[in-house]
Amino acid sequence: MTLPRSDDLAGRLLGERYELATRLGEGGMGVVYRGHDTMLRRDVAVKVFRDGATEVARTTSETHLLASLNHPALVTLYDAHLGAEEPRYLVMEYVDGPTLDERLRSGPLPRPVVARVAADLAEALHVVHQAGIVHRDVKPANVLLRAPGVAGEEFSAKLADFGIAHLVDATRLTTPGTIIGSAAYLSPEQVTGVDPRPSADIYSLGLVLLEALTGRRAFAQEGLREAVLARLSQDPVVPTEVGREWGALLTAMTARDPADRPTAMAVVDGARRLRSESTTAPTSSSATVGIPGSSATRTAVLPSETAVLPSETA
């Protein structure tokens, strides 16, 4: 059977083992359900793919990618059914918590919490990049939050959804020049349709962390054309309210030239320092920022307040 957007498989048993319950999310490639593994008696997340000739290679690629990665900040793949019999699905670790996108609807996060999220996600990206993979869609909706069970910690973060991931130097699964990703978090090079590199994920993560700190999206253009023009003509505004050290890290991560951005491990180091240091926002409205390991330095007069931006529907 082909799975259109309107189908709801809640209540169905897949593979004589996985009971599907509530729908957790939906995207262009399929629907994710909360499920229950009746054999191992644990909750799972089940991604049921929509079928189409152009998606077969991609769903198989996603399975191989997930199976090859192992890190506490990456969602673990448990099982896969990608044979001729439909529906085709993946069974993954269920994270009992909100997405970062859902959490941010209540407002910005405290700096120590953002530093924890930054360290978790940058470590995950380091593992991903070491495997020769570019995620290509780092955004709040793809960040899952889980209570860490440690006193004084609000949650830890996990990176999910490798549905549009790209293998560096591998055969493309998309047409050259195609823009892939979510408009609000695209890097400048992504909007031109060139082959993505790990530095593109660093840029997107910088935008995610900036939004987590301020509660405002740096690029709120809803249309792809508007997003392209904005990304090629301006840098994200890093307000002084985030503090000098956070400003230095975020400015480097969102440098327009990919060569000027830090590596994932440099971001991990910076985030760990920020967790251990008490930072205060400077009173001056002008700052020069930089980060070790990156040549990015930007001087700008930054506003202390900007308008609240509308949420993304894509």
Burial of 82 (0-12, 13-18, 19+ CB in 10 A): middle
249, 207 Cβ separation under 8 angstroms: no
CB 36: neighbour CB atoms within 10 A? 18
Instruction: For residue 18, list its beta bridge partners.
Output: 14, 37
CA-closest candidate to residue 66, choices 74, 56, 58: 74
Residue at 209: amino acid letter: L
Active site residue 137: yes
Distance in angstroms (rounded) separating the CA atoms of residues 47 and 179 = 24
- Alpha carbon 230 to its chain centroid, in Å, reads 20
Distance in angstroms (rounded) separating the CA atoms of residues 210 and 283 = 19
CA-closest candidate to residue 216, choices 235, 201, 237: 237
User: Of all residues in the chain, what percent are helix, strand and coil, respectively (each to 5)?
Assistant: 35, 20, 45
Q: What is the DSSP string of 66-93?
A: HHH---TTBPPEEEEE-SSSSSPEEEEE
Residues 6+ positions from 234 with CB-CB distance below 8 Å: none
How long, in residues, is the chain? Answer: 314
Residue at 160: amino acid letter: A
Instruction: For residue 157, list its beta bridge partners.
Output: 145
Catalytic residue among 137, 161, 201, 260: 137
Distance in angstroms (rounded) separating the CA atoms of residues 227 and 225 = 5
Q: Which residues are catalytic?
A: 137
